[in-house]
Amino acid sequence: MQNFEYWTPTRIIFGQGVVDKLPETMKRFGKKVLLAYGGGSIKKNGLYDKVKSLLADWEIYELPGVAPNPKFNPSVVDGVKICKEKGIDVILAVGGGSVLDCAKAIAGAAGYDGDPWDVVTGKVPTTSAIPIVDIITMAATGSEYDAFSVISRTETNDKVAYYSELVFPAVSFIDPTYTYSVPKNQMLAGVVDAINHVMEQYFNEDPNDLADGMMEASIKSLIKNLEIALVNPEDYNARAEIFLNCTLACNRIFMVGEAQSGWPMHAIEHALSAYYDITHGVGLAIITPRWMKHILSDKTEARIANFGVKIFGLDPATPVRELAEQTIDATYKLFEKWGIPMCLKDVGIDESRLGEMAKHVADTAGLDQPFVYAPLKEEDILEIYKASL
Amino acid sequence: MQNFEYWTPTRIIFGQGVVDKLPETMKRFGKKVLLAYGGGSIKKNGLYDKVKSLLADWEIYELPGVAPNPKFNPSVVDGVKICKEKGIDVILAVGGGSVLDCAKAIAGAAGYDGDPWDVVTGKVPTTSAIPIVDIITMAATGSEYDAFSVISRTETNDKVAYYSELVFPAVSFIDPTYTYSVPKNQMLAGVVDAINHVMEQYFNEDPNDLADGMMEASIKSLIKNLEIALVNPEDYNARAEIFLNCTLACNRIFMVGEAQSGWPMHAIEHALSAYYDITHGVGLAIITPRWMKHILSDKTEARIANFGVKIFGLDPATPVRELAEQTIDATYKLFEKWGIPMCLKDVGIDESRLGEMAKHVADTAGLDQPFVYAPLKEEDILEIYKASL
């Protein structure tokens, strides 16, 4: 077992109607609130009015219009400015992971006198942060239970990961009923992303029984409850399990004591989304079985086969290489059964830029480092793309 | 799925040699340290000297001799006195769960001007607490990852549970190698306790796939790794998995979204340990299959049968009542195989005080409340004791 540190100081308040507890929570912080939200869906579903009414006694400053893939300019810059000018005590992020990611960057940069970009890029360390409370309305990135955020700066084509232990949300409100209105395709893509988050952690060099078991439980729960929610989008238990899995999938509790893995599938997919703006979860569904097939070797076959036995109930008596191949096939068929386009050509990607993307990933993602589960060179990445056509 | 709140702000630092990081951690707190420890085993194994040497720059006040089932008098009283007189900044608990439980009571009571017993019994609320750091050397109660403690007051025959969110340890150092020297019987009793902690949570009215899967993974990991460690007490991975499971078993992360259950087996066993001073884990091994058999009904048979399928790999095609009976039998045989005495008579308990104990449990533990998984009256408890003879 690997040595590890684990710390998640966020309080989760989970369930139907929990947002009613917001005033009780907000009382712990000051009166000046920066309310960050996105494109207005919270105005349509009534959550905006509910929050304003619950916080009638607070002094609220608004940061509306935070975009998906939240932008440094204007969102983070404007938010930091409001925090400084008004002396904000607490940031309330209401919406999806992007709004929360933006709130994290604002929280960490607000105490710094220079350019907030210095903090977001890690050029200067985060030494203080405004507390964050969130009402998270999308089962997706797990931002509500980690200290990461991804911030884009359009004018310089930068997309950076910002991390500071100081920006863990203080409190995350999760009411699964807010996901009832998420369209099926988006729910599906979110679940594939969550399954892949767990798979990225599962394929590592130093498994243990407890962590493996938690991850297997999570993937099986995601598959089962997605299939329930696809039939009945308002099945509360199914939506609640999906949300709970998404919340925990990126937090490291499922992989306690296991080795790092390098998250190769995410790195390979990110280029697809960046170059072609395809849905991240769809890109992952396409890449996952091709990555598994590419890394299949004497060294990895037992781990892949074990995945097939545990997740798909394949027969452990089958010879290991055959079992691993069956596992890869079952993974492909699972996503295909859910109606996901399983080839790059189906989502408008041809071979013209595969080489460019492979070079970009090889240059930036460090997938050839020895700690990566199955290290990949540029030509490996290119082969995975080609096999995905 | 049940609504829930989950919060555990403790930082876990886990692995071989992690105690070397102690000074880095202690720097976050002040210079005045109350060092609490037990009967001296940390002097024998070198940990006391190591801690003193690592903290040579700190001002250390000692509270030695904290007993198992930590005593209000003198340990908590003396500790509170030192904290007040010396202006202690941080309590460092080194040893097993008892030392840490004692530290929690001291931490919570030190800021109160009246009798510390008022705080421990909850007569006055805990409004502040001195931060706690621990080096936990026993895989047992999970006190290193929760905010509970149990304090005994010998002169009045009181044994009370103290809880405050303020006494979560700030940092818990867990190095599984310190458990190498724990005798086999003690390790065995600790693992039975941990298995039972998970079972107490598992048998509830509102299971979900993720929580069930985590709990099944935990019990299977405990069984497998105990059997490895019984053969080779210095198998690091086995000891590490046992410790990790014990740490997480009492924290509520495994049962997220499931219903409360009332912990009936613990309540029934506690009387045995209190009246006859038998080992808690041994008492639990004796009570567990008898409790399962007593509560077996049309309402519970499916849940018990499911436990047998998941934990013991029993055939799910078997008729459910038969499967449930096989599960109870397999649970009994598991403990029996490990050499645990499986009858009360084997541990010196006859029928003379069973009625008295049953009345005591019925009067104090609230096992007849409707939220308990299978509510028990006094006569039920007595029957379980009698079946255990």
The four Cα atoms A181, A187, A189, A191 give a dihedral, to 10 degrees, of 150
> Does a structural domain hold residue B230?
yes
Contact B195, B340 (CB under 8 A): no
Last residue of a domain, one of B116, B149, B178: B178
Last residue of a domain, one of B138, B153, B178: B178
- pLDDT band (50, 70, 90) for residue B169: very high
The four Cα atoms B332, B96, A2, A120 give a dihedral, to 10 degrees, of 120
Average pLDDT, chain B: 96
| Same structural domain, A198 and A171 | no
| Same structural domain, B95 and B113 | yes
> Does a structural domain hold residue A5?
no
> Does a structural domain hold residue B4?
no
Q: What is the mean pLDDT of residues B320-347?
A: 98
Give the Cα separation of B238 and B185 in Å (integer): 16
Residues of A in contact with B237 (CB under 8 A): 1, 208
Percent of chain A residues past pLDDT 90, beyond the cut: 90
CA distance B304 to chain A (A): 19
Q: Please indicate whether, in this complex, the C-beta atoms of B17 and A7 are within 8 angstroms of each other.
A: no
> Does a structural domain hold residue B271?
yes
Which two three-digit tokens encode residue B283? 């008492």
Helix H or strand E segment including A215 = helix A209-231
Contact B99, B71 (CB under 8 A): no
| Same structural domain, A262 and A357 | yes
> Does a structural domain hold residue A1?
no
| Same structural domain, B301 and B357 | yes
| Same structural domain, B165 and B250 | no
pLDDT in the model for residue A359: 96
Residues of A in contact with B248 (CB under 8 A): 210
The one-letter amino acid code at A127 reads: T
Residues of A in contact with B221 (CB under 8 A): 208-210, 213
Is pLDDT at A158 greater than 90 in this prediction? Answer: no
Q: CB-based contacts of A28: which residues, under 8 Å, 6+ apart?
A: A170
pLDDT in the model for residue B59: 98
Q: Could you give the 3-state DSSP secondary structure of residue A35?
A: strand
User: CB atoms < 10 A from the CB of A84, how many?
Assistant: 14
Which two three-digit tokens encode residue B63? 């509270």
- pLDDT band (50, 70, 90) for residue B187: very high
Q: Please indicate whether, in this complex, the C-beta atoms of A241 and B17 are within 8 angstroms of each other.
A: no
CA distance B97 to chain A (A): 20
Residues of A in contact with B245 (CB under 8 A): 210
Q: CB-based contacts of B306: which residues, under 8 Å, 6+ apart?
A: none
- pLDDT band (50, 70, 90) for residue A107: very high
Sheet with A132-136, edge to edge strand ranges? A59-63, A32-37, A90-95, A132-136, A171-174, A4-14, B4-14, B171-174, B132-136, B90-95, B32-37, B59-63
Of A5, A210, A220, the CB nearest to B245: A210
> Does a structural domain hold residue B2?
no
Q: What is the mean pLDDT of residues B178-188?
A: 92
* Residue with token string 């608004």: A62
Contact A179, A187 (CB under 8 A): yes
| Same structural domain, A164 and A39 | yes
Q: Please indicate whether, in this complex, the C-beta atoms of A18 and B3 are within 8 angstroms of each other.
A: yes
CA distance A73 to chain B (A): 33
| Same structural domain, A90 and A61 | yes
Q: What is the mean pLDDT of residues B216-234?
A: 97
| Same structural domain, B157 and B237 | no
| Same structural domain, A228 and A134 | no
Strands, DSSP E only, in chain A? 4-14, 32-37, 59-63, 90-95, 132-136, 148-153, 158-163, 171-174
Contact A268, A291 (CB under 8 A): yes
| Same structural domain, B28 and B134 | yes
The pLDDT tens digits of the residues spanning B63-91 come to 999 998 899 999 999 999 999 999 999 99
The pLDDT tens digits of the residues spanning A245-301 come to 999 999 999 999 999 999 999 999 989 988 998 898 999 999 999 999 999 999 999
> Does a structural domain hold residue B3?
no
Domain with residue B293: its CATH number is 1.20.1090.10
Q: What is the mean pLDDT of residues B291-299?
A: 98
Q: CB-based contacts of B224: which residues, under 8 Å, 6+ apart?
A: A209
Q: Among A355, A356, A351, A379, which Cα is nearest to A367's? A: A379
Give the Cα separation of B192 and A40 in Å (integer): 53
| Same structural domain, A193 and A166 | no
Which two three-digit tokens encode residue A197? 């988050």
Say which residue, B386 or A153, is predicted with more confidence. B386
> Does a structural domain hold residue B94?
yes
pLDDT in the model for residue A46: 93
Q: CB-based contacts of A268: which residues, under 8 Å, 6+ apart?
A: A287, A291, A361, A365, A367, A381, A384, A385
Domain with residue A164: its CATH number is 3.40.50.1970
pLDDT in the model for residue B181: 87
Q: Among B16, B19, B195, B214, which would you mutate to test the A interface (most chain A Cβ atoms within 10 Å of its Cβ)?
A: B214
Q: Could you give the 3-state DSSP secondary structure of residue B269?
A: helix
State CA A101 to chain mean position distance: 11
**How many domains does chain A fold into?**
2
Residues of B in contact with A8 (CB under 8 A): 8
Nearest CA in chain A to B249: A210
Lowest mean pLDDT among A305-309, B35-39, B276-280: B276-280
CA distance A225 to chain B (A): 9
Which residues face A92 on adjacent strands?
A35, A133
Q: Among A253, A148, A242, A143, which Cα is nearest to A190's? A: A242
Contact A34, A58 (CB under 8 A): no
- pLDDT band (50, 70, 90) for residue A2: very high
Q: How much is the ipTM here?
A: 0.95
Give the Cα separation of A382 and A359 in Å (integer): 8
- pLDDT band (50, 70, 90) for residue A130: very high
Identify the contact set of chain A against chain B, taking CB-CB distances under 8 A.
Answer: 1-18, 208-210, 212-214, 216-218, 220-221, 224-225, 236-237, 240-241, 244-245, 248, 253, 256-257
- pLDDT band (50, 70, 90) for residue B173: very high
User: CB atoms < 10 A from the CB of A114, how many?
Assistant: 10
What is the domain extent for residue A113? 11-179
Q: What is the mean pLDDT of residues A309-333?
A: 98
Is pLDDT at B60 greater than 90 in this prediction? Answer: yes
Is pLDDT at B327 greater than 90 in this prediction? Answer: yes
Residues of B in contact with A253 (CB under 8 A): 253
Instruction: Give the side-chain half-sphere CA count within 13 A for B279.
Output: 19
Last residue of a domain, one of B134, B157, B178: B178
CA distance A107 to chain B (A): 20
| Same structural domain, A134 and A283 | no
